[in-house]
């Protein structure tokens, strides 16, 4: 169950939304999948810096 006004998921036994009091709709929540949400970057290894005695 889902409240279309508040856009929240409710229990299967709920007939009305406890937040707004409107009747709940019998629909599954929508899952949106995003392909590659982050860009691929190349990371070069750091060169080891040694402290030399002066």
Domain boundaries, the chain: 1-31
Q: Please state, in angstroms and rounded to a whole number, the distance separating the CA atoms of residues 15 and 22.
A: 9
Q: How confident is the model at residue 49 (pLDDT cuts 50, 70, 90)?
A: low
Q: Please state, in angstroms and rounded to a whole number, the distance separating the CA atoms of residues 17 and 40.
A: 42
pTM of structure: 0.42
Question: Which one-letter DSSP state was computed for residue 25?
Answer: B
Among the listed residues 28, 29, 3, the one whose alpha carbon sits nearest the alpha carbon of residue 14: 3
pLDDT 10s digits, 7-46: 888 887 878 888 888 888 877 666 777 776 777 788 877 7
Question: Which one-letter DSSP state was computed for residue 38?
Answer: S
């Amino acid at each position: 169950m889902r409240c279309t006004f508040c856009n929240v998921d409710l229990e299967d036994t709920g007939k009305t939304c406890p937040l707004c009091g409107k009747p709940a709709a019998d629909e599954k929540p929508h899952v949106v999948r995003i392909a590659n949400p982050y860009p691929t970057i190349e990371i070069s290894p750091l060169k080891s810096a040694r402290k030399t005695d002066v």
